[in-house]
Amino acid sequence: MIGFTAPFALWALPLAGLPLLTRWLRSSSVPRLDLRPAEGVSRAVDRGLTAAGVIALAALIMGLAGPYLRGGSLPYRGMGTNLVLLIDRSSSMDDTFAGRAPDGTDESKAAAARRILQDFIAGRPDDRIGIAAFSTAPLQVLPMTTSRSAIAAAITAQSERGLSQTDVGRGLALAMQMTRDASAMGSRAVVLVSDGAAVIAPEVQDLVRELALEQQVNLYWLYLRTEGARSIFDPGAPGEADSPQTRPERHLHLLLQRLGITYRAFEAESPEAVAQAVAEIGTLESRPILTERSLPRRDLAWLCFLAAALAAALLTAARALERPFAPRRPAPLVRQP
């Protein structure tokens, strides 16, 4: 697919027909004995010169129009997945794993998660990645893309102070909707990074259930457990209150288990545990994926100019080899008295 940067220049193309109307070499209306007869070779040279003239003019005009080969994307098979990162932006993510404000020695949960995710993404060139965040409302941060620079910029930007509450249900629904944009071949995965959960309204639960079945995503929950918080795997002592209100994280875990899709929860109490869990997600999510590599557009004007230069050189050579006419006027046929 060829495009032109200045297509209006192509209007000048009829000018390239000029060599058809005129001659390049000298011509004379007087017949001469030392001219070559009009046989095969001389006709070929004549037409060749006309063709060279047409080519030179046409190539220059085409080159001025700026032809280029359109860029695009080249599909190829890689190893990776269609991944949506769903990041918790509630303000508790700004605390450390010990539940305190970061004091320089310990990094906050959000900072640790960002650093580890950046490393994770840098090591997986074939993933298509989208990013969503949630707080009181779900936010689509970056639609699915293969551009590493955009992904890195979006993850770095999550270093801002967090927002207010945690509404994980609608965040999950948004992330699953974003996987609709996934490539046809390849698995879809949602990685939920959060340090807590909240009660999910029944209608949002239904929505998440429907979307999970529709999209068949693999769901991973990276639960950044603050020191002292109860484990999501702990069923609790007999007789202890076990309701979504008292233990929202455990009940989110139970909901996700019942979705009927591949689901794994990782509990991490330290940056090292987060890195370990992310590495495990990486090995689980290495499957063939049809993704694309973008091709830049390529300039073709130099080819036109090359053709023009060669044709003009040919014309120059023809003129250099051209035999001049007799330096003086022929003597009159009849001597003057």
Partner 1 sequence: MRVRVILPAIAAILAGMAMIGPGLTRPQRLTDALVVVDITRSMNTRDMEGGSRLDYARRALTDWIATRPCGSRIGLALFTERRSLTLFEPVEICADFASIKGAMDGLDWRMAWEGDSMIQKGLDHALRRAGGLGVPLIFVTDGQEAPPLPYSGAARFAGDSPGGLILGVGGDQPAPIPKFDDLGREAGFYEPGDVQHAPARLGAPPPDAAQRPGWHPRNNPYGESDLDGSEHLSALRAEYLADLAAERGLGFLRLSDGPAAIDRALAVHAPGKTVPATRSLSPPLAAAALVLLLTLWVIGGRRVSLTRQDIT
Positions touching partner 1 (CB under 8 A) are 15, 18-19, 21-30, 53, 56-57, 59-61, 63-64, 66, 89, 135-143, 145, 147, 149-150, 153-154, 156-157, 160, 163-165, 301-302, 305-306, 308-309, 312-313, 315-316, 319-320, 322, 325, 329, 332
- For residue 180, give both structure tokens: 């609709």
Task: Give the distance from CA 195 to its chain's centroid.
Answer: 32
For the chain, report the end-to-end CA distance as a whole number of angstroms: 75
CA proximity to 175, closest of 82, 279, 292, 268: 82
CA proximity to 191, closest of 246, 89, 264, 136: 264
Q: In the complex, what is the shortest distance from the CB of residue 71 to partner 1, in angstroms, rounded to a whole number?
A: 11
Residue 183: beta bridge partners?
A: none
Cβ proximity to partner 1: between 123 and 143 the closer is 143
DSSP labels, 121-160: HHT-TT-EEEEEEESSSEEEEEEEE--HHHHHHHHHHTTS
Q: In the complex, what is the shortest distance from the CB of residue 253 to partner 1, in angstroms, rounded to a whole number?
A: 25
Q: In the complex, what is the shortest distance from the CB of residue 188 to partner 1, in angstroms, rounded to a whole number?
A: 18
Using CA atoms, how far apart are residues 199 and 333, in angstroms rounded to an integer?
Answer: 118
R_g over Cα of the chain: 37
Q: In the complex, what is the shortest distance from the CB of residue 222 to partner 1, in angstroms, rounded to a whole number?
A: 21
Cβ proximity to partner 1: between 152 and 273 the closer is 152
Q: In the complex, what is the shortest distance from the CB of residue 281 to partner 1, in angstroms, rounded to a whole number?
A: 23
Q: In the complex, what is the shortest distance from the CB of residue 79 to partner 1, in angstroms, rounded to a whole number?
A: 23
Cβ proximity to partner 1: between 60 and 268 the closer is 60
Using CA atoms, how far apart are residues 162 and 89, in angstroms rounded to an integer?
Answer: 5
Cβ proximity to partner 1: between 210 and 322 the closer is 322
Alpha-carbon dihedral sign for residues 37, 38, 41, 45: positive
Cβ proximity to partner 1: between 24 and 242 the closer is 24
Cβ proximity to partner 1: between 279 and 310 the closer is 310
